[in-house]
Each structure stands twice: as structure tokens, then as C-alpha cells.
Chain A
Amino acid sequence: MKFFKYALLASTLIFASCSDDDDNAPDPVNEEEVITTLTVTLDSGSDTVVMQYQDLDGDGPDAATVTVSGSLNANTTYDGSIVLLNETESPAENVTEEIEEEDDEHQFFYTVGSGLDVATDYANFDGDGNPLGTLFVLNVGSASSGGLTFTLRHEPNKPNTGLENAGGSTDIEVTFDVTVE
């Protein structure tokens, strides 16, 4: 097959002048839209619980790391804040800022799994007064355990009454196993 290769290279010499003489390797792509990390910080004033979902290879085969720093105190109110990062870039890009800038096109939803005795309230809103939800209030009830799911919808119908009629496309859907003690 060597013959063909040489014949080919020779016959394509004529193209060399037409094509970019670019033997340099291409640059890597900065993935601008990827969200690798979601961090929820719950602060009651005296107690702080951090929940994190981190998947550094995005849609690659590696599994995500999901951590919850500790259990929540019963009958306590926590201030919650959500931070989204793109850690494929260095330094990491804070995606939360972008979402807060486009607050009318985004909304977080909180789904409390059966068995878990907590309730949520939105703590920040878009320009039209509809919820955004990167800040929220978590009212913890009695001792219990279950899943707490955070969903971020892009271009949802606003206002809505919940995920059932929010529409849009799902940018984030992450569940943490939460224990109330």
C-alpha cells in the first residue's frame, strides 16, 4: 500500500497550494456551557451543611461525586444558596452569575422526596417578580430522611405552579439524600 500512499501524496501536491499549510495541532476547546458542579450551602446561623454534586468529565464515563457534609437539625430554618461551576475551565467559571443575569429565563425547583419533612420557599426573584431560586429558605421539620431534588429549567413558562407545567429544558436535575436529626 506504500505505492498508493506515495502516488496519492504526489498527486495531491497540487492541492498543497490550495490548502492551508497547517500542520499545527488544533487548540483545545474551552467548554463554555458545561456545568460540572452544583454546590448547595445551607446555613442556619449556627449550623452549616454543604451538599455537592461534582462530575468533572461532564457527559464522559466517569461517575459523579455526590457529598452531603452532615445531617440537618430538626425544627430549624436554613438559608440556602446554590452555586454552579464549570470546572473544566481554569479558573473555574461561575455559571450562577450568568443564570442570575438571565433570571427571566431560568428557574430552580425543589422537590422534597416522600418521607422527608422539610419545606422550601423561594428567596430571590426575576424582574417580573417570578421565582428564580438560586437563593431559598429551607424549613426543616421533624426528624426524617429522604431525597431532596434540585431542578434547573432553562426557558420555563413563567409564571408556573411547579414542574408539572414549567416546560423548558432541564439543565440540572440532582438529588441529595438528606437526613434530619
Chain B
Amino acid sequence: MIFTNTYLNSIVVQKTPMLFFFIILILFNSPIYSQDCNSSLTLKVIDLHDSSVLQNASIFVKELDIKVKTNSKGEYVFKDLCNKEYFIEISHEDCESVQTEIKVKNNTIKTIRMEHHLNELDEIIVKSNFKSKSKSVFENKVSKQTLEDYSNNSIADVLKTIPGVSTISTGSSIAKPQINGLHSSRVLLINNNVKMEDHEWGIDHAPSIDINSIEKISLIKGAGALKYGGSALGGVIISETLKTKLIDSLYGKLYSSASTNGKGGTITTDITKTNSKGWYTRLQGTFKRFGDYNTSNYIMSNTGLSERNFSLKTGLNRVDYGFEVYYSFFNNETGILRASHLISAQDIFRGITSGIPLIIEDFTYDISAPKQKIKHNLAKFNFFKTTDLGKFNFQYDFQSNKRQEFDIRRGDDRNTPSIDLELTTHSLSLDFDSRFSNNLNLNLGIVGKYQKNFPDPETGVRRLIPDYEKYDLGVYSIFDYKLNPEWIIEGGLRYDYTYMDVYKYYKTSFWESRDYGEEFSDIIVEVLANQILTNPKLEFNNASATLGSKFLFDNNNTIFFNYAMSSRSPNPSELFSEGLHHASARIELGDLRFKSEVGHNFGFTYQKSNEKFSLIFNSFLNTIKDFIVIEPVEIMQTIRGSFSLWEYRQTDAKLFGADLNVDYKLNKYINLIHQSSVIKGTDTKLNNPLIDMPPANIKNEIVYFNSDLNNLSISLQSEYTFKQNKYPDNNFEVYIPTTETYEYIDLSTPPKAYHLLNFNSRIDIRTDKNKSINLGFKINNLLNTTYKNYLNRLRLYTHDLGRNFILSVKYKL
């Protein structure tokens, strides 16, 4: 069924649009003598999508017992064949091998399509901006094993294994990725081709994605990122599930792990049913439960976590058309360190002076206030069709994000959340991906989006984020062009229009102190006793563009260069914050007058690789105009004592940095890996360092791997984090009346440098031909080091995680 006997006939073996390879078999049969063996056979291998030839594909001919490889044109010519059937096996490092019989008879030419997926199964590819492979931005790779190793953690934690990516966290369970120093609204997260809309602006708002539902993660910068949005000043993170194979199959896995720190674990399972006609269904679920985590020597009370997620994917996948329905439900409840609920200046002073939590109780699985409860529903439907012009993809997606934040409250409000937001988003998009010529690809698209935020007034707390309706329209155009085999350029343009219709209650006193009355009198709807209801209608127009180039010196040396301009509308928090933000324990003030921030990013990468050694050096310079920052401006007296008042303001910023990744194969079994990164961020208007910039860090790892010994892998990693010496001084002095003293409140000074050792090991136990059990044993923070992490917002009051033994079992069928 794999071959048919027509001239240049294409046959589909596996149909996965993005990752296909053609194998074209061209058969020359010259019957000079009958019964003679004088025929010939030419094989050619090309990519379905960009028609690039596939070099070094192995071809094994059983009858001749020879193994050959395709040349730089993806071809190989067999001569002196007989007119009979030959058994042939074709394989390529990125493809599943195909075995078939070819009937050699006269001048017959045949085509095979193979699925390019094996590599994808084994690796989470951190790919570049290009549709298929890296072009003008370097392509990093993180093994899929790493993803499984982080089953207990969050999506931000696994991304941290990529040089240049760090995490900014609120305690041990709430973490979000920070790319080259930028995070939150400046990093877009794409989940199965849907842009996550989950109040991503908040520093304590972790992505609502189950790490176990993901099979592949990409970090994109450059032109490819424009498809997803123009506001990604930091980058775009793409998480997705894998394409399924076009075979009759049922497979899945059961993975469970247990940790001593937090005394909990994760159970996750998935099962996939596919058939040869292209139908597929995948069902996945995760259950995660942890109690209080501990540092090296005390329990961090109320840091437990409970998470229950599931996802369902079903659809039809053929070469020229297909559709998919995807639904995922993410549901978690996360405790926030009880002792971090310190709001007034004198309470914060008590907390900082102590250095360890003021409240340490016995271990418990209970999660009480302060805590967060998140429910995220994501549904997607897409349909694609490939025509002579190219591939069209139509998509509708829906998201509903319910975020509840519970504080320590009094009386009847005890069990009422302080923040209760429901964000609903509908999005429609049409994407067209075309190949104009062998050298030119073009990708065009249009996206429309409607979003509504509903803050429930039943909280009894003034709305932190107001009621709003938001309309977005985006259009983009991306191309890549191959000047010659060594040199590729790419570019793209995107335009975004945003319209926001907002209902916001301002405190009269704040409205007047900002002089909004003169400028915005037309937006007043109603004046109440001490509040003013307004209806701001805001418009933002953002243009984004990118241009990049990749130059291949020889097979071992490559240079990438990329320039990107990104524009981001201010988010609702930056525009409308006004009052006490319990989660960050400060009064935060936004500004209705903000305009979009615009970043110019220059990236340069040098890559050198050969069989024993690979080096990647990556550097960037990002200048951002009207960069929105929040910083303390003054101390304010309230009935609760002194408060620090934080105000958003727009300034100009410059970030630059570099990272290095070196992998050296010492011998057959031992690899040495080095990773390091450094970054510097400056507020160029004030000539001050930017807050929350990741400190320099160095990781060195020695890995032993033996495939002959049940894939035994043992590794030891050393992770050294420097002290961040560049930070803005936001410290202040405050008078404490109860002690009649002036005290200096040090919010800013970063913690000292620290060194962690991590141990990791795993081994396969094969139970059957296709079934295996993988056992893993990990020790994080082997030496039980006591340390604080600058990018953990609770570091003022607590240390970070102590030693953790993690045992995992994976059963694959």
C-alpha cells in the first residue's frame, strides 16, 4: 500500500502537514536485454512543505545487501537491477523508517511520503522563528526527558533550562518565565496554537498550562513570532501536543513521581488512539498534590498545591486537509506563604528583620488564605486545507479564565475572595502559508479577538482590574528567502489595532489628584458620593516588524543575526491600578495616559558544532521606548500606618546580555555541559539599573550515558548564581511610633550568591518489545544549601527550597 505504479506518483505514508518528507523513488528500467539485469533505480527524498531535499537518507536493498545514502540532491541511483521486486528500507535520522517492496519494471517513477516525527517525539525543540527549521535565530534543543523530569514543576521551571531564560516567582509554586530579562505581558504563551489569555500581566499570575499536557515547547523570537502577536518584546513560548502518526495504533503512558519536599507528587497519564485514515484522539489527565514545602531547615507554612487538569484532542489529519478539536481544563489551588501577608511598612520591617517567616507551623496539606484558585478552560477548533496556492488554516478558539485570590479577611468575608475575575476571550483567525518558489515562503494571516473581563463586585473589595471589553484586530505577513544555500533572510510585518471599552470606578480623591477631570471629563458617566464612574474608550495602534539573516560559513560554523521591533499596548493593570494590591502588599497606581511601549531588539548568535563539540554564543541588545515600570514614589500614612506607594511610569530602557552553551563529548559515555548567562538592564532616563534582572549564573554538568546498559544516565549539575549587584535602590526609612524609632526598610538589596548541586539518574527496564518502564531518581539541592533567590518575590521573608528527593516511574505502552 505504500507504493503505486504510476509515474511520479506520491503516496502518503504518514500525514503530518508540518513535518513531512517526500520520498520520491524514480525507477529507470532499461530493458536492453530481456531477463537481463540492466535496469536502474533512482531514489529522491524531499520535504513535503519546503520541498528541500533530504540528504544522507539511508537506503537498504535487501536482495543486494547494500546500504547507501542519498546525495546532496537527495538522490541515489541504483544500476544493473533486474526486473523484479526488491525489498527496500529507507531511513533518516529525523524520520521513521519505511520498509517496502518495489517492483522494478521499465521506466517507472514512484513517490513516498514519510512522517518526520521520531525526532519530535524525543525532543522538545526550542526552535527559531521559522516554520520548519531554524533560519535567522538559533534553534536550541531541550530533551523531552527534561520535560518529564519537570513533571512536578511548572512550565516556567522547564523553560529555565534554556540559556537566557529565568523564572520570576512568588514562592515555590507560582513561577513565570522571564526571557532575556522580560516577563509577563512581554512574553506571549501559545498553547496548542491559542494565545493564552489568563491575566498574564500580573507577576504573581503563573501560566494556566499543565506542563504534563505539553509534548513540545518552542521559544520563538524574530519573524515567526509575529504570527502570534507584535507585543512579544521578550519572546513567544509555544507549547503544543505532538502530531499523531497515520497508523492504527493505541499508545500512552502513565507517569508518577513523588517528592520528599512538599511530601507530594504527580500522577499523569495520556492515551492516544490513531488510525491509518488519519483520525486521532488523545486524552490526558494530571493530578498533583503537595503540602507545605520546606527550606533547608524550616517549613514554609501554607505553600501547598493542589492541581487537577485534563485535556482532550481529537481530529482528522490528512495531507491536504484536516481538522482538530482541542479542549483543556486547568484547575489549581495554590497556597501563598502565610507569613508573607505583610502590608504596612512596620509589618514589612518585622518580616525583613526576621529573615525567616514570622509564622512557622507544623507540616500540613491544608491550603488556607492567602491563596489563589484558578480555573482555565480552553477550547479550540481549527480546519486546514492545502491547495496549490498553499495551506489555509482557519481557527476559532475560546478561553475562560477564572482567577480568585483569597486574603486573610475578617468576619463574613473570611471565605470571600478579595479578587474574583472572569476573563472570557473569543478569537478567530485565518492563516495562509504559501511556498512561492523553491527559495521563497510567504505566510499571511488575520486575527480578530473579543475579550471581556468581569470583576465580581461581591468581593467587597474595590476592583483591581476594571470591567472591560477589548477588541483586537491583527494582520501579519512573514517571508523567508533563500539567497543561496548558505544564506537565508527572513522578515515580517504586523499591525495590531486594539480598542478597549472600560467601565472604571475612580476614587474621587485619586481622580482629582491626577487632574483627570480636565483631560477626561467626557468619560464621566456618574458621580457618586466618593467615587466617579467613568467609561474610558481607548485605542491603540501598534506596528511590529522584523528582519533577520542566517549565514552558514561551512558545515560547522553558522552566524545568525536578527532585528525585531515590537510594540505593546499598556495592559489593564498598568492603565487602571488604583489602590491596595493585596498580593503585592502595596498601593499601586496606574496611569490612564499611558501609550504603547516600543522595543528594538538586535540579536546575534554564533554557532559552532561538530561531532565532539558544540558551542552556541548568543547575545542581544534591546532598547525599549516608553518602557512601563512600577516603582515606589513615596510613603503614605493610612489608618494602618505607613505604606509605600508604588506608581507605574513610562521611561526608556536598555537591556543587553549574552549567554553561552558548550557541550563537549569527552568519550563515548561522558558529556560535559556548560551554560552561563549574564544580563544588564538600565533605565536610561534615570540612569538606574532595572529591577528584577536575573543575576549572572553558571551551570556545569557532567553526564554519563550508556545506551548498552539500559540507557542508564547519571548526571551531576553544579549551579552557581551570582549576587545581583545592579539593582535600583527602593529602600526607604519609616518612623515606627510604637518603638519611637526610624527604621530603614531594605526591600532592594539582592540576596548573596549561592551554589546548588543537583543529581539526576534514570534507567530503562524493558518489559516487552514496545513496553518499557523508566525509573528516575533525582536529588535537587543535594547539599541542602540555605539560600535566597533574588527573583522570588517572597525572598524578603523566606529562604528557598531545601533538599528534595524525587522518585519517578514511567510506564510506557
* A147 cross-chain contacts in B, Cβ below 8 A: 737, 740
Interface pick from A19-27, A73-81, A130-138: A19-27
Partner of B457, one of A5, A29, A99, A102: A29
Q: Is B759 positioned at the interface, with any CB of A under 8 Å from its CB?
A: no
Q: How many residues of B contact A (CB 8 A)?
A: 65
- Distance, CA A151 to CA B507, complexed state (A): 27
Judging by beta carbons under 8 Å apart, are A173 and B641 in contact? Answer: yes
B355: Cβ under 8 A from any A Cβ: no
The reply to whether B639 and A38 form a contact with Cβ atoms under 8 Å apart is yes
Shortest CB distance B662–A (Å): 48
Q: 1/0 per position for B511-543, CB-CB distance to A under 8 A?
A: 001000000000001101111010100010100
CB of A64 within 8 A of chain B? Answer: yes
Q: How far is the CA of A109 from the CA of B641 in the complex (A)?
A: 14
| Contact between chains at B529 and A167 (CB < 8 Å) | no
- Which residue of the partner chain B has the closest CB to A37? B639
The answer, yes or no, to whether B8 is at the interface (CB within 8 Å) is no
Given A57-B507, A109-B738, A111-B738, answer yes or no on A19-B426 (Cβ-Cβ < 8 Å): yes
Q: Is the interface of A mostly helix, strand, loop or mixed?
A: loop
Known contacts A27-B457, A29-B460, A147-B737; is-contact A19 B424 (Cβ 8 Å): yes
Q: How far is the CB of A171 from chain B (nearest CB, A)?
A: 6
A45 in contact (CB, < 8 A): no
Does chain A have a CB within 8 A of B347?
Answer: yes
Interface residue? A127 (CB, 8 A): no
Residues in B neighbouring A60, C-beta threshold 8 A? 507, 509-510, 513, 579
Inter-chain contact A173/B344, CB cutoff 8 Å? yes
Measured in the bound complex, the distance between the Cα atoms of B528 and A155 in whole Å is 35
Whether A15 touches B460, Cβ cut-off 8 Å, given contacts A5-B499, A57-B507, A113-B740, is no
Q: When the two chains form their complex, are residues B530 and A57 in contact, meaning their CB atoms are under 8 A apart?
A: yes
| Complex: A45 Cα to B533 Cα, angstroms | 48
Cβ distance A37 to chain B, nearest Cβ, rounded Å:
8
Name the residue on B nearest A113 (C-beta).
B740
> Is there an interface contact between B738 and A151, defined as CB atoms closer than 8 Å?
yes
Interface string of B420-437 (1 = CB under 8 A from A): 000010101000000000
Interface contact A32-B497, CB-CB below 8 Å: no
B473 within 8 A of A: yes
Residues in B neighbouring A119, C-beta threshold 8 A: none
Given A15-B426, A59-B587: A20 touches B452 (CB 8 Å cut-off): yes
Q: Which residues of B contact A15 (CB under 8 A)?
A: 426, 450
**Which of B85-93, B409-417, B690-698 is near enough to bind chain A?**
B409-417
A161 shortest CB reach to chain B, Å = 14
Minimum CB distance partner of A9 in chain B: B471
Q: B638-667, CB under 8 A of A: which get 1 and which 0? A: 111101000000000000000000000000
Asked whether A7 and B738 contact (CB < 8 A) given A28-B533, A31-B461, A170-B641, the answer is no
Q: B347 — nearest CB in chain A belongs to which residue?
A: A170
A107 at the B interface (CB under 8 A): no
- Contact A90 B541, beta carbon cutoff 8 Å: no
Is there an interface contact between A5 and B497, defined as CB atoms closer than 8 Å?
Answer: yes
Collect the chain B residues with CB atoms within 8 Å of residue A171's CB: 640
A1-B637 contact, Cβ under 8 Å, with A8-B473, A113-B740: no
Cβ–Cβ < 8 Å partners of B509 in chain A: 57, 60-62
Question: At the interface, yes or no: B440 with Cβ under 8 Å from chain A?
Answer: no
> What is the chain A residue whose CB lies nearest that of B339?
A167
- Say yes or no: is B580 at the interface (Cβ < 8 Å to chain A): yes
Q: Is B635 interfacial (CB-CB < 8 Å)?
A: no
In angstroms, Cα B737 to Cα A111, docked, is 8
Is B37 located at the chain interface by the 8 A CB criterion? Answer: no
Say yes or no for A11: interface residue by CB 8 A criterion: yes
B632: CB under 8 A from chain A?
A: no
Are B637 and A113 in contact, with the CB atoms below 8 A?
A: no
Interface residue A141 (Cβ < 8 Å from any Cβ of B): no
Nearest 9 CB-CB pairs, A to B?
A: A32-B460, A173-B641, A60-B509, A15-B450, A57-B509, A4-B497, A61-B513, A11-B448, A62-B509
Since A8-B497, A58-B507 are in contact, a sample of 16 more A-B pairs with Cβ atoms closer than 8 Å, ordered by chain A residue number, is A8-B471, A26-B455, A29-B460, A33-B409, A59-B579, A61-B510, A61-B513, A64-B637, A99-B410, A111-B738, A147-B740, A149-B738, A170-B344, A170-B346, A171-B640, A173-B738
What are 12 A-to-B residue pairs whose CB atoms are below 8 Å?
A8-B473, A9-B471, A12-B448, A15-B450, A26-B503, A27-B457, A33-B410, A55-B639, A57-B510, A64-B639, A169-B347, A170-B344
Interface residues of B (CB under 8 A from A): 341-344, 346-347, 358-359, 398, 408-413, 424, 426, 428, 448, 450, 452, 455, 457, 459-463, 467, 469, 471-473, 497, 499, 503, 505, 507-510, 513, 525-526, 528-531, 533, 535, 539, 541, 579-580, 587, 636-641, 643, 737-738, 740
